[in-house]
Structure 1
Amino acid sequence: MSIRLTRWGHACIRLDREDDRVVIDPGVFSDLPQALDGVSAVLVTHEHPDHVATEPVVEAVQGGVEVWAPQPVVDALVAAGAPAARVHAVRAGDTLTAGGFDVEVLGEWHALVHADVPRVHNVGYLIEKVLHPGDAYLDPSGAEVDVLCTPIGAPWLKLGDVVDYVRSVRPGRVVVVHDALLSAIGQGMAIGLLGRLAGAGEPISLDPGEGIDV
């Protein structure tokens, strides 16, 4: 049974499989509330607002959606009015079922921006061979990855490191994410470099609402 992966802007990815639905990282640069329409579960990689838009997510939780996220995100959502019983803390090594999907939680820390910028907790999610690493180069520990959601533009990121990360994961396909800070020219250059060097074929760039079957 195929899964539809749809991108809803920046780092936001949604997976649909019949009645199973989950959204990862609905942040302030995402197309909301469209990404959250009809879902029962949200996964958040870390606390930065481009990965979690507090007000829409709290409204979704108040409407019955469940959220899994690192503890600082849980604390912030509950403080903003999300019912605590529907917001769950996760850490590396956890396994769970969210929105009908089996999920493995990876990683611990956001990639380093600068020595003077404190690092925050960041987890990634491996779902049905789809890996969303958040803002880090997370090691799937040999697990097979069909689709790697690969950041291409961020203060912590160097494209050469992204190339090496894709090579290390060896995914079947790359879907580019985390590009809201890039111009169209910058996006094109990053995608071209990954396509030439990373070894995972031509990267897939999806406009908001566009998707692929996985």
Structure 2
Amino acid sequence: MGTDANDTPLKLTKKGHSCVRLEKGGRTLVIDPGGFSEQESALGADALLVTHEHPDHFDELRLRAAMEANPEARIWTLRSVAEQISGAFPGRVHTVGHGDTFEAAGFEVEVHGELHAVIHPDIPRITNIGFVVDGLVFHPGDALTVPERPVKTLLLPMHAPWNKFSEVLDYVRAVSPAQVYDIHDGLLNDNGLGVLNRMLGEGGPGTGGAAHDHLRSGEGVRLAR
């Protein structure tokens, strides 16, 4: 993988729940524009990544709108999602899995992980992949996958039917990033966010050294390399 792409500043914008936009050099990559993110969250994307088929991560109408608005846009996702949308956009939907690497609109992407976290033994597990972008930021989807490489910025699934706080905290410590930003928080009100943010900050056991911040929808940051 080349190094030139990794020298360009990378901006991250939170777009609601588990959706983020990454921008550099005039190109835009969107991850998981699902049903809990803003209606326009995928519009303007040059590349779209989808971690799995659950509707809070995969919304076909949002993807279709983005693909129709930009005939050059492409999707990279796992088979269960590709099978649902590839027929509408022949040659523009790419199936990827654990261990794959590819370039998407100038962003260098690695795929990590294979399965969704266990919700309950009675509920069959589905597939799930996570994405490391430009060797800098990791979006795990609905799993607590520890990538087999260091990542500086972790997008942390804060709250879901499949996790609890002790697992969230231990996950941060296992990945050992320099910076953590919350995702997967669409079911939390301000009270819940306040409690969890205190637990990950000075009022709780802490993250093991990682800086932790919460971005509200629409807020953006420049990611340090």
TM-score tier (shorter):
over 0.9
| Identity level (%) | 41
Greater than 4 Å deviation, 4+ residue runs: none
Secondary structure of 1:36's aligned partner: coil
Q: Is the 8 A contact 2:48 2:76 kept in 1?
A: yes
Q: Does 1:85 align with 2:91?
A: yes
Give the TM-score normalised by structure 1: 0.94
- Tell me, yes or no, if the aligned pair for 1:39 and 1:99 is still in contact at 8 Å: no
Quote the Cα distance in structure 1 between the aligned partners of 2:154 and 2:53: 21
Q: How does 1:147-158 map to 2 (within 5 A)?
A: 147-158=153-164
Of stretches 55-64 and 170-179 in structure 1, the one that deviates more from structure 2 is: 55-64
Gaps of 5+ in 1: none
Tell me the distance in 2 between the aligned counterparts of 1:181 and 1:93: 31
Residues of 2 paired with 1:18 and 1:175: CA distance?
Answer: 23
Q: Which deviates more, 105-114 or 24-33? A: 24-33
Partners of 2:44 and 2:91 in 1: CA distance = 20
Q: Distance in 2 between matches of 1:210 and 1:58?
A: 25
User: Once the 2 structures are TM-superposed, how far is the Cα of residue 144 of structure 1 from its aligned partner?
Assistant: 2.2
Q: What are the Cα deviations for residues 29-80 of structure 1, in whole angstroms up to 9, with x where unaligned?
A: 11121x223221000000001001111202322342210111010111235x
- Alpha-carbon separation, structure 1, partners of 2:112 and 2:90: 23
Give yes or no for contact 2:86–2:92 (8 Å, CA) kept in 1: no
Q: 1:15 maps to what in 2?
A: 22
1:213 has 2:219 as partner: no
| Aligned partners of 1:9 and 1:29 also within 8 Å | yes
TM alignment of 1:169-208, pairs within 5 A? 169-195=175-201, 196=204, 197-208=206-217
Report deviation, 1:201. 4.2
In structure 2, the partner of 1:73 is: 81
Unaligned runs of 5+ in 2: 1-7
Tell me the TM-score normalised to structure 2 length. 0.89
What SS does the aligned partner of 1:58 have?
helix
Amino acid at match of 1:32: Q
From 11, 17, 31, the equivalent of 1:4 is: 11
How many residue pairs get aligned? The number is 210
Q: 2:123 aligns with which of 105, 117, 126?
A: 117
1:133-159 deviation per Cα after TM superposition (whole angstroms, max 9, x unaligned): 001011111x22111000111000111
Q: Note if contact 1:21-1:100 (Cα within 8 Å) is conserved in structure 2.
A: no
What CA distance in whole angstroms lies between the structure 2 residues aligned with 1:151 and 1:88? Answer: 25
